[in-house]
Structure 1
Amino acid sequence: MAKIIDDETIENVCILAKLSLNEEAKEKAKEDMQKMLDYVEKLDELDTKGVEPLSHIFGDQNVFREDVVTNGDNKEAMLANAPKAKEGQYQVPKTIG
């Protein structure tokens, strides 16, 4: 049997979620939470024997590519656009006294 959502549970949830609900909103939240728990209880009635557990809905194993640099280091081209450069780096005005 599913747990019954009471006023104490709603108060605790409000504290944890840092919510301030009026009485009408608390009643609505109690009803909604109770419906969720009832639905989960209904799902527990399903026969899941022989059903493989899923960690992900897609069957893909690894969709990531190897991390390979393809465009190289364009330092000279980037520094060519700088107003000032010194020792291979951007030169900017001093900002700290």
Structure 2
Amino acid sequence: MTIDKKLVKDIAFLARLEISNEEKFIEEMQKIVDYFELLNEVDTEGVEPMYTPIEERYKLSERNRKDFEDAELIRNNFPKRENNYLKVPGIHK
């Protein structure tokens, strides 16, 4: 894939970018694309796809849950409350 000025202008428009040095941008993008094209040369025949590079399962912490002791102190400092709920401004109009 070749990076040209038209492609750079299209990318800049879509990403809402202002590119001050188009030639340097083209050069750098071409290096990136060339590097990724190297991956097409890797023989992956018979290699099972991985969905994560970490093969071990995540282990949950052995720690016990501990409730915050001063939750009521936080609630009392909040300007608007209703029972144990904190009231915040709505996001819909």
Same fold (TM over 0.5): yes
TM-score of the superposition, structure 1-length normalised?
Answer: 0.59
Partner of 1:19: 17
Query: Where in structure 2 are there 5+ consecutive unaligned residues?
Result: 81-93
Tell me the distance in 2 between the aligned counterparts of 1:90 and 1:19: 46
> Per chain length, whose mean CA-contact separation is higher, i.e. which structure has more relative contact order (CA < 8 Å, sep 6+)?
1
* RMSD (Å) for aligned C-alpha atoms: 3.4
Find the structure with the greater CA-based Rg.
1
Question: What are the Cα deviations for residues 11-53 of structure 1, in whole angstroms up to 9, with x where unaligned?
Answer: 011112221122xx21111111111211222210111122221
Tell me the distance in 2 between the aligned counterparts of 1:33 and 1:9: 11
Residues paired across the two proteins, number: 80
Equivalent residue in structure 2 for 1:38, among 34, 39, 45: 34
1:71 aligns with 2:66: yes
Report the CA distance shift for 1:7/1:92 in structure 2 as closer, same or farther (over 3 A).
closer
Tell me the distance in 2 between the aligned counterparts of 1:37 and 1:12: 16
Secondary structure in structure 2 of the residue aligned to 1:61: coil
1:62 aligns with 2:58: yes
Query: Where in structure 1 are there 5+ consecutive unaligned residues?
Result: 83-88
